[in-house]
Chains A and B, each alone.
Chain A
């Protein structure tokens, strides 16, 4: 397994978690401007990281564009990652 891929995905997962948390908080505090700024900043950051990752390792969702051949099906699938590498 490609250690660099594991590390890149892990970074995406970390930023994704920030967004999950800010989103849940904003659902019950929709007028908290500071939290919304934090959410928007990390949302932008996630898009950038995902775009770099997907160009290299293929789509994270089946909505994304892919190089030929269709790379969405490529391993490793999430439950196959060895996160002890990173």
Chain B
């Protein structure tokens, strides 16, 4: 069960009108290591997670990822909402615009539609938690590339926050993995 809260997790500020940057940021809206993939991955893995610490961690981080997805959609929207068509023509955002207008859409920066093939759920907590830790590091790397190509100070502040969250989540999944491994080892009798 979920309930919507009328607030963002981070106060998104965008200082420029920049459709090109929007087209790059959309990588984290619907790309393989984006926030949608993260949220659906963790929330899907919950049913077969054996420990209570793991169930709580997947639930809460999965939920936070959906809040991050909302932050990314907000950045994309604020980067394009005031753009006249002349500011869109000839930019990488133009191919997005002819299909979706100014609405965000879950595809990668290269235009590939989001697919469940980006995630896994193996009913094996060791495999799943390793995937989750790798996913956090891949998202961190993507945020670093995005910060490198962005020259909007407000956008960079928000991307910096999201990058930090990947690091915190990696840490929590690591602790969850350790708890699961201890639990598995305890169940061995010789």
Contacts and interface: CB of A to CB of B under 8 A. Distances in A.
A27 B11 contact: no
Contacts, number: 73
B10 A13 contact: yes
A61 to B, nearest CB: 5
A70 interface: no
A61 B5 CA distance: 5
Interface in A9-59: 9-10, 12-13, 16-17, 20-21, 23-25, 27-30, 59
B168 interface: yes
Contacts of A9: 7
Interface string B68-85: 001001100110000000
Measured as residues with beta carbon below 8 angstroms from the partner, the interface class of chain A is 20 to 34
A61 B6 contact: yes
A16 to B, nearest CB: 7
Given A24-B172, A27-B172, A28-B176, A12 B7 contact: yes
B189 to A, nearest CB: 26
Contact of B57 (A17, A24, A81, A83): A24
B48 interface: no
B60 A24 contact: yes
Measured as residues with beta carbon below 8 angstroms from the partner, the interface class of chain B is 20 to 34
Q: Chain B interface mostly helix, strand, loop or mixed? A: helix
Contacts of B78: 79
A81 B8 contact: yes
Contacts of B131: none
B70 A79 contact: yes
B175 A13 contact: no
B6 A27 contact: no
B92 to A, nearest CB: 22
B60 A23 contact: yes
A3 B136 CA distance: 36
B9 A84 contact: no
Given A10-B11, A79-B73, A28 B6 contact: no
A28 B77 CA distance: 36
Interface of A: 9-10, 12-13, 16-17, 20-21, 23-25, 27-30, 59-63, 72, 77-79, 81, 83-84
Interface of B: 3-13, 15, 53, 56-57, 60-61, 64, 70, 73-74, 77-78, 154, 168-169, 172, 175-176, 179
